[in-house]
Structure formats: structure tokens, C-alpha cells
Chain A
Amino acid sequence: DAGVTQSPTHLIKTRGQQVTLRCSPKSGHDTVSWYQQALGQGPQFIFQYYEEEERQRGNFPDRFSGHQFPNYSSELNVNALLLGDSALYLCASSPKVYQETQYFGPGTRLLVL
């Protein structure tokens, strides 16, 4: 049973560029949440997708957008990258939207130069 997978594992971009991160949820899960974890901080909630719609959103600017596909996989897009966007981006899946327990993927480490 495959767990949550994310790609790529590492990414280096320059300021102003755009990036797309991908996530496949654990088998049987239909809800995907994205988090940003800066160095030395806890994960900060970006948004959650269920039934291909954004259901909840944290305190992140519109430069952060996402998508969920019919197979429940998801993408996180960040436009106009800033140095402060450098972080570990975590995807978490859960069996349904009203589910407290989330399973995290390995993360994508983004470095913005």
C-alpha cells in the first residue's frame, strides 16, 4: 500500500519564477492538504482540496494556488517566487475531509535564490 508521494524531492528556483509541486495521496484517501514548513518552524496550513475544490485556505497570498485531479492527486503552484518561499512543502492526505488524522508525504524542499 503506497503512502503519500510527492515530487520532486528538491527544487531550486530563482526569484520571480513559478513552481509546481505534485502530490499523490495514500490509497483510499480523497482529501489533500498542503503545508509550508520553514526552517525551525512547525508546518503552516496553505489549503485543502476535496472533490476537486479548495475547501479551506490558510493565511497565504493568492500567489499560492492549487488543483486536485479526478484521481485525487494534487498540485501546488506558487507564482512570483520570493526568497521567503524557501521551505519544505508538505502534502498530507486523509480518508475524508472531516478527518483529523493526516498522513504526510516526504515533502519537497524548495530553495529560492
Chain B
Amino acid sequence: QKEVEQNSGPLSVPEGAIASLNCTYSDRVSQSFFWYRQYSGKSPELIMSIYSNGDKEDGRFTAQLNKASQYVSLLIRDSQPSDSATYLCAVIDLTGGSYIPTFGRGTSLIVHP
């Protein structure tokens, strides 16, 4: 049973700060990693995907992957109140031929002015 763990939060940061969201996963064969943003009452929206160890940057977002330690993180630089949402981590194990993601429960982020 694959498990994806996230601190439910809320994580509260001031506007302009760096928000750091973390995710750990139990299955060493997980190969694809995703971060989704979900506003209250809305559906998940894909922010970033990462497949290799290291950092991947896209605008104000940076995903970091460490397969040896089985964690993936998302950094949001210059946080804005509009970033306030729940951030879902998802992992996919491709070895069994399944492309179905396993989601964590999400971390609630609050960016206050």
C-alpha cells in the first residue's frame, strides 16, 4: 500500500516570504511526482511535475526531489495571498504499468498580508 504523507497544516506565512511544503512517500519505486494546487471548493490544478533528483524551477515555484530520502518538496517564493490554497502531493509508480497517482491529503497554506 503506497502512502503519501503531508502535514495538513495550516502553514501560515507572511506575504513575500518563502513557503515550504513537504511530502514523503513510502514506496521506493515511485518515479513521478506532482504538485497540485486546490482552492477551496475547486478541483486540483497541476502546478509542477518532477522526475529526477534535484531542483526544478518554474517561475516562483521550485520542486525538489530526493529519492534516497523519499521526499519531495515545493517552495513558493514571494508568496502572495492568492497562493492561499491546499497543495496536494501525488506520486506515481510506473513499474506496474499503472499511471494512476496516489495523493497525499494536502497541506493548507495561508499567506497573510
Please list the residues of chain A having a beta carbon within 8 angstroms of any beta carbon in chain B: 33, 40-45, 48, 56, 58, 88, 90, 94, 97-107, 109
Contacts and interface: CB of A to CB of B under 8 A. Distances in A.
B40 to A, nearest CB: 11
B92 A100 contact: yes
B99 A58 contact: no
B105 A40 contact: yes
Contacts of A45: 100-102
A101 B44 contact: no
Given A42-B103, A109-B41, 15 more contacts: A40-B8, A42-B90, A42-B106, A44-B103, A90-B44, A98-B99, A100-B32, A100-B92, A100-B101, A102-B46, A102-B101, A103-B46, A104-B43, A104-B45, A106-B42
B24 to A, nearest CB: 14
A48 B100 contact: yes
Interface residues of B, number: 24
Contacts of A100: 32, 34, 49, 92, 99, 101
Interface string B91-111: 010000111111111100000
A101 B49 contact: yes
A66 B97 CA distance: 22
B98 A90 contact: no
A101 B100 contact: no
B4 interface: yes
A42 B32 contact: no
B88 interface: yes
B103 A43 contact: yes
Give 10 nearest A-B pairs by CB, closest first. A42-B103, A104-B43, A42-B105, A107-B43, A43-B103, A45-B100, A104-B44, A100-B32, A41-B105, A106-B43
